Amino acid sequence: MSFLDVGGEIVGSKDRRFLAMRGGGVRYHVAVDLYGIPGDAVVACRDGAVVSFKSFYKNSYSLLVNHGDVVVNYSEVAADSLENNGLAVGSQVKAGQRIGTVAQLDVNGMCHFETYTTGTKGTSSWMVGEERPRSLLNPTKLLLHLAGNGVGIDVAEAAAKNRDFGQSLEWQTKLKEIAHVLGMSTAPYGADDPALAVAVAQWQLANKLVEDGVIKQDTWDSFKRAV
């Protein structure tokens, strides 16, 4: 995560922050780049709907998702991101749902994370000396909030693992009790309820456990003291 802090100091890579220079100083970088390994999951940061999926940079694509109060461009994702995740333009997505994978660029990969005002249908560039595009937002505060409060898991994968662990560890019969410990308003419909995976990840984060959304042995041992 790269940004300019309140004291004017650059945290992280100066070239990956919002408004870093591009094109030899003729264009602003309108995203924050989040490094990843090609093939890493890219997940939705909130519930939303897919707006567009277009060629972006080299062999990567731009995946635009409307999250209601903000539109996010998850770009530099692989060309098969929608197909491999059963998605299409117009599909609804849930917070934490896998929506794509990091593309292979020259050496490494990243998620080029841009933010826009609600209702935006396409991305924008910002050339030095020109007015800032009206729809363009600075993604830094949202990313810092997500870093401190968000859930960085693949919900579908966690839910599938919970289905198996619910049987092998025999906790699937105590879903009401688990929901109470987690502070969920309603009990999960089953061990593989995606809402359960998200709530578990938040609980793990608060209790200094590995944040994966899965009730495996260590997490279940911690739950049992309360359940």
- C-alpha 174/C-alpha 167 separation (Å) is 11
What phi and psi, each to the nearest 5 degrees, are found at residue 79? -65, -25
Question: What pLDDT, in 10s, does the model give residues 5-26?
Answer: 878 888 888 889 999 999 889 9
Q: What is the chain's alpha carbon radius of gyration, rounded to the nearest angstrom? A: 19
What totals of helices (H) and strands (E) does the chain contain, helices first?
6, 14
pTM, two decimals, is: 0.73
Residue 142 CA to chain centroid, in angstroms? 11
In contact, 95 and 46? CB cutoff 8 Å: yes
User: Which residue's entry shows tokens 């209702």?
Assistant: 119
Give me the half-sphere count of Cα atoms (radius 13 Å) on the Cβ side of residue 199.
20
Model confidence band, residue 102 (pLDDT cutoffs 50, 70, 90)? very high
